[in-house]
Amino acid sequence: MRLCFLFCVLSLLAPLGHSQLQGPSGPKGDRGFPGLPGAKAAEDQDYLDYLEYLDDLDDLDYLGHLGHLGHKDHLNQDNDSTSSEFEALKNSIAKLELAVNYDFIRKAGQKYFVSYKERNSFSKAAEFCSQRGLELALPQNDEENNILTQFFGTVYKEAWINVNNKKAEGNFETDMKNRPLTFTKWGEGQPDRSIGDTGCTKVSDTGVWQVTKECFINAFIICEL
């Protein structure tokens, strides 16, 4: 009986040897869980350099936008909407790089108001901004208008704004490039039609606009970008 049992076992082991051909592949397994995010590209450090500044401005929404977009353009170069989003992002970064050079900064929508909190005449104010590739500040809504008043100190509470100073070129209702004003905050009796030729527009601490013929007075210089 034992001899028969041993013979049967040896007979069964032979087909199980290493000489047996490999069987067909089994079905493909399910996709695994996504791996952990890889290390950020070196150039992403440029974004992180703005973190402290953005915190000071309480501008976390902007930072969140950076995180959402990331490097989409590298993932899908053919996606037009992605490319345009990234171009807009780069433009915002370029603006921010300019803005941080100033002592006083306020963000309003997609623009920045910047200043060294210096005061001068209207012509010097317009020249100051133009030499830096910027324009004299011009609010486009109530929010922006109110933001300008944040630049004022306890004593001086007026700033020049980018309204055309030549009455003949739009009757004080265009900007310095003769573009019609889309938002105004004129005080009572303004713009002053009695001003014959040249009049410069300033905004007060209450947000009210006023044209004055005294363009030589010193008011705050605020540029926008």
* Average pLDDT for 6-16: 45
Which tokens belong to 213?
């013929």
Residues 95 and 125 in one domain: no
pLDDT band at 3 (very low <50, low <70, confident <90, very high): very low
What mean pLDDT comes out for the span 206-210? 97
Q: Which residue has the higher pLDDT, 146 or 55?
A: 146
**Omega of the bond prior to 24 within 30 degrees of 0, cis?**
no
What angle, rounded to 10 degrees, do the helices at 60-69 and 80-99 form? 140
- Picking from 9-23, 86-100, 150-164, 197-211, which range would have the lowest pLDDT averaged per residue? 9-23
User: What pLDDT is recorded for position 22?
Assistant: 57
Claim to verify: residue 220 and residue 116 sit in the same structural domain:
yes
Same domain as 215, residue 193: yes
Report which DSSP code applies to 178.
Answer: S
Of 100, 129, 144, which marks where a domain is finished?
100
If asked whether residues 132 and 214 sit together in one domain, one would say yes
pLDDT band at residue 201, thresholds of 50, 70 and 90?
A: very high
Q: Does a structural domain hold residue 193?
A: yes
Phi–psi pair at 151, nearest 5 degrees: -85, -15
Find which of 33-37, 73-77, 153-157, 206-210 is predicted with most confidence, using mean pLDDT. Answer: 206-210
Mean pLDDT within 189-201: 94
Number of domains composing the chain: 2
What domain range is 85 assigned to? 47-100
- Does residue 95 share a domain with residue 136? no
150 occurs within a structural domain: yes
pLDDT grade, residue 79 (50/70/90)?
low
Among residues 40, 92, 84, 39, the alpha carbon closest in space to that of 66 is found at 92
Instruction: Say what the pLDDT of residue 29 is.
Output: 61
* pLDDT value at residue 24: 67
Tell me the pLDDT tens digit for each residue of 142-161: 999 999 999 998 899 999 99
Shared-domain flag, residues 125 and 217: yes
